A and B are shown apart, each in its own frame.
Chain A
């Protein structure tokens, strides 16, 4: 006479099994490790492993594991302090051809990893590291655009032989460019010319006094919005490139809102190092090429060190082949307006379209007219400032790296717009476009907030968090069992599974576990029991009103359900609002709460109903233990 359908038992069993399996990886804590990756074509083999082992032994750094996994070498350590010391030792022993990164190596068994079960990533407050919030200066983007358009309008008017008195940016940012002309006829000619040449500008006639005819050209608001979006995307991409060079494993670089970027680097304890890389200044130089990458002359120069006096020897990014580049600079990153990747209509191969500003275009035109068929190289220059103490004073020492990111043959005469074709694949094209734009970092960035969390504090927080969860859970389990007897015990089983399923879902989605997230878990546990309290109180009521035990259970669940649904939906609305609050501690808490409410509705109602039906199902009952 069970009123609980069989398929629901199957569902409950299935979900519980699934919950256990996907929550399981969290029982295997990751170990602090150091990851070594070879760069510049250096080998990574048993000899490197031996070198690392020798260096660690010589410095008396104890390690618990050392192995080559795929393309990198991983060494495990007992705690974060040893890990940090070991990273320094390994860095010193291997030199510049290897990147050494701090990491947390997973100890999850292979069969769990095979079904994509993994543990929750830990937030910075649980594993230590640095957190930056970067604010992108959107004003600078508007400034740059308006300055460029002023420049372009000047050369356009000259080109069209329209006499003008002045072309200047209006005093207020975003108010456009003011053009002063000498006659109404000139003004309409200028207006037409600007409107056809630059569709992104809105041209309006202004007031005219005497022989001053004013024309205002302002950038369309939708274009500005588009620019702002492109800027932050580009800044995020540039940051990602630079941070990858830093060798931090799994950095978090995320756009937040319209003008902020969050950067979280786990394991990094020295913010100065990270800031240096983030604050690097990159630029581009278009230069005349001498030969191509891997040319015999370049190889010879690289081997002997005899570089021709009018040339520089650089290496090509990615392939590391030497290339000779003329010292003569044609155009620089400042003059690059836009670079975007696409597909060449004629050949169907990937390409990158480049737009230069008026001044850059003129120089490019002059150069290409005389050099068709010759190579042209793009050199990427990145400057990082090191702070050094010299004679007790802080001195900023620039440290510059240069590499060739593109080397192509000039196919024809071009100026303002041109394209680079013959790229191997679309990925390469988009990478090149990104690098070109990165060379003219779209907008300056400020560090709006930063925090540095020590590794021992992370350990401490994990322990405290775990203790709070277990104690909170234990106390509620005890209280429920005492107050509601058998029904309380059933609720306890459900509550325990609620924790398991909550952890499983969080692990599957990949929610980063933080301290506020743990607070959310504890709160969820405390509130999940509410549904069971509602059910138990209802069952008691029904019994008091003279219902038979089976009828009391059925009516209790039925009547409580409407209440549980209403209460949880309103609660869900609150949790949803929390998740929209940026990416800080509030969001972590909100996401946990949101998932917790959903899982608790299932465990508190369906799971307890299944167990209750299983216990009381086919027996004749005189009383209920509630």
Chain B
């Protein structure tokens, strides 16, 4: 069975100006979204208290809000967790940050237990079938540390991969891969910001995994580019790059589909804990696949990749040749 015509020769690089412009626009839009709307940081990053509640029967989010409101619990964030029977209630730490920041610790954590208990009491009053699944407390300091750790990890990944590609391929490949990588991460974060999906630790893990996944895709195409450059006698870069994308197209899309299938299974059956992870991965797969086809190679062409950069290093040194 074959979905793709193996003789296809879609002129992807012919459209490079359009695709690059779209990629740049998407990046700008994503940065704009991140700056204006920001990410809907989860408890892991903001600190505060969260209570996860499960009901035996369907519950309306509005009813939960009303129940909390009546009990005098201020500014709760109520979210549905997959389906209509589980909700997550989030509360920011009290004391305007100052008191909470100066002395978190045992006092704050004991208060968290009390808050969780009062939330449950309020919900049980309205609906006796409410059961506490879990509750957590995170101090704001921990959240700040995580944010910086996450950024460091992302930068480490990108640089590590860049160095590897530089050694295995060539400088231009490393630069093209990194530029596309930055694009993928930004656009993925942009989509998360656009839909205001909660950004927690598992989503961060997923974003880092997207980097791994999407670089995988690029490397496969780059590998083919290197191979075709070495094989062909007269290598017209645009043609070689286009042929590489076309010959690997079937693989690029099939792999994305297969990985997408597993992530969809995770999304629909894995429960609310991994929702964020699966959806982020799905977004990343789409973005990464498209950028492998439309963005990475045009950058490579623009950087001026040529046959001679990719030939295996030969002994003849121009310095030596010049000597008599």
Contacts and interface: CB of A to CB of B under 8 A. Distances in A.
A101 interface: no
Interface in A578-620: 578, 580-582, 584-586, 589-590, 593
B110 A275 contact: yes
Contacts of A319: none
B245 interface: no
B136 interface: yes
A472 B262 contact: yes
A526 interface: yes
Interface stretch (B64-72, B190-198, B251-259, B314-322): B251-259
A279 B106 contact: yes
Given A450-B137, A483-B1, A522 B263 contact: yes
B259 to A, nearest CB: 4
Interface centre among A464, A465, A577 (most CB of B within 10 A): A577
B37 to A, nearest CB: 24
A108 B154 CA distance: 40
A562 B223 contact: yes
A449 B154 CA distance: 24
A13 interface: no
B255 A533 contact: yes
A125 B219 CA distance: 36
A465 to B, nearest CB: 6
Contacts of A516: 201-202, 205, 273-274, 277
A450 B208 contact: no
B106 A447 contact: yes
Contacts of B109: 132, 271, 275, 447, 449-450
Interface string A539-562: 011001000000000000001001
A448 B216 contact: no
Given A446-B105, A593-B212, A573 B6 contact: no
A519 B259 contact: no
Interface centre among A275, A445, A533, A540 (most CB of B within 10 A): A533
B157 A574 contact: yes
A567 B153 contact: no
A464 B269 contact: yes
B216 A581 contact: no
B112 A525 contact: no
Interface centre among B168, B257, B259 (most CB of A within 10 A): B259
Classify chain A's interface size: 35 or more
A449 B137 contact: yes
Given A485-B1, A562-B223, A578 B205 contact: yes
A575 B209 CA distance: 7
A401 to B, nearest CB: 20
Contact of A135 (B105, B157, B161): B105
Given A449-B139, A566-B219, A457 B133 contact: yes
Contact of A589 (B44, B52, B202): B202
Interface stretch (A48-56, A295-303, A474-482): A474-482
A571 B215 contact: yes
B219 A482 contact: no
B202 A456 contact: no
A447 B105 contact: yes
Interface in B55-82: none
B212 A571 contact: yes
A471 B269 contact: yes
A620 B98 CA distance: 79
A518 interface: yes
Interface residues of B, number: 80
B134 A515 contact: no
Interface centre among A449, A465, A518, A540 (most CB of B within 10 A): A449
A309 B248 CA distance: 91
A133 interface: yes
Contacts of B250: 537
A479 B256 CA distance: 12
B135 A451 contact: yes
A568 B255 CA distance: 14
B183 to A, nearest CB: 16
A128 to B, nearest CB: 8
B10 to A, nearest CB: 17
B261 A593 contact: no
Contacts of A581: 149-150, 153, 205
Nearest to A453: B134
A275 B204 CA distance: 30
A567 B281 CA distance: 18
A577 B149 contact: no
B11 interface: no
A366 B253 CA distance: 84
A569 interface: yes
B113 A272 contact: yes
B39 interface: no
Nearest to A573: B160
B9 interface: no
18 contacts: A451-B134, A457-B52, A457-B134, A471-B269, A472-B261, A479-B257, A482-B1, A515-B271, A519-B202, A527-B255, A527-B259, A529-B258, A529-B259, A533-B258, A569-B164, A578-B205, A581-B205, A593-B212
Given A464-B271, A574-B208, 7 more contacts: A135-B104, A515-B274, A519-B274, A530-B216, A563-B219, A570-B215, A577-B160
